[in-house]
């Protein structure tokens, strides 16, 4: 539930990787959930303030440089892009701060919030790589 709540809330604002087919989308969603849950189980006791700071810095840079990620099926008006960028940065930051604040009392929940945000940042990078690859293929 935590994974889905964070994933959906952040992705609505930031955008991110979109699979080419419905099957691949479901496969990616299931595999990223399983990977995040597995990783959460293994690392939740090791997340400290420095890891949280590293996550925040990484995610804020990704949001600032790449967000919002557009989808060809759901374009974003040019005037709204700065608003979505700012909202993405704020949501990443607030969720990371919340996850970090509760991690001592609710380790699994706090680390799941942090890891889900990290996954979304990685998916944003993946979307940009895919976008560049598609642009090169269109040119060729």
Q: Phi and psi at residue 139, in whole multiples of 5°?
A: -65, -40
Residue 72: predicted pLDDT: 77
Residue 91: predicted pLDDT: 95
Residue 74: predicted pLDDT: 76
- Say if residues 84 and 30 touch (Cβ distance below 8 Å): no
For the chain (length 140 residues), average pLDDT per consecutive 10? 94 86 93 95 91 94 92 83 93 94 94 95 91 67
Q: Sign of torsion, CA 50 107 62 94? A: negative
- Global pTM? 0.88
d(CA 38, CA 34): 6
CA of residue 112 relative to chain centroid, distance: 12
d(CA 49, CA 100): 8
HEC per residue, 56-90: HHHHHHHHHHHCCCCECCECCCHHHHHHHHHHHHH
Question: Which positions ≥6 away from 101 have C-beta within 8 Å?
Answer: 110
In the chain, where are the structural domains located?
2-139
């Amino acid at each position: 539930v935590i994974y889905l709540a964070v994933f959906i809330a952040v992705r609505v604002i930031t955008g991110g990787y979109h699979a080419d087919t419905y099957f691949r989308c479901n496969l990616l969603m299931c595999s990223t959930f399983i990977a995040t849950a597995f990783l959460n189980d293994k690392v939740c006791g090791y997340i400290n303030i420095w890891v949280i700071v590293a996550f925040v810095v990484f995610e804020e840079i990704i949001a600032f440089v790449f967000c919002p990620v557009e989808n060809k099926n759901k374009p974003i008006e040019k005037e709204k892009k700065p608003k979505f960028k700012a909202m993405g940065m704020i949501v990443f930051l607030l969720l990371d701060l919340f996850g970090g604040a509760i991690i001592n009392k609710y380790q699994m929940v706090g680390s799941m919030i942090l890891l889900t945000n990290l996954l979304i940042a990685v998916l944003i990078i993946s979307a940009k790589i895919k976008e560049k690859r598609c642009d090169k293929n269109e040119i060729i």
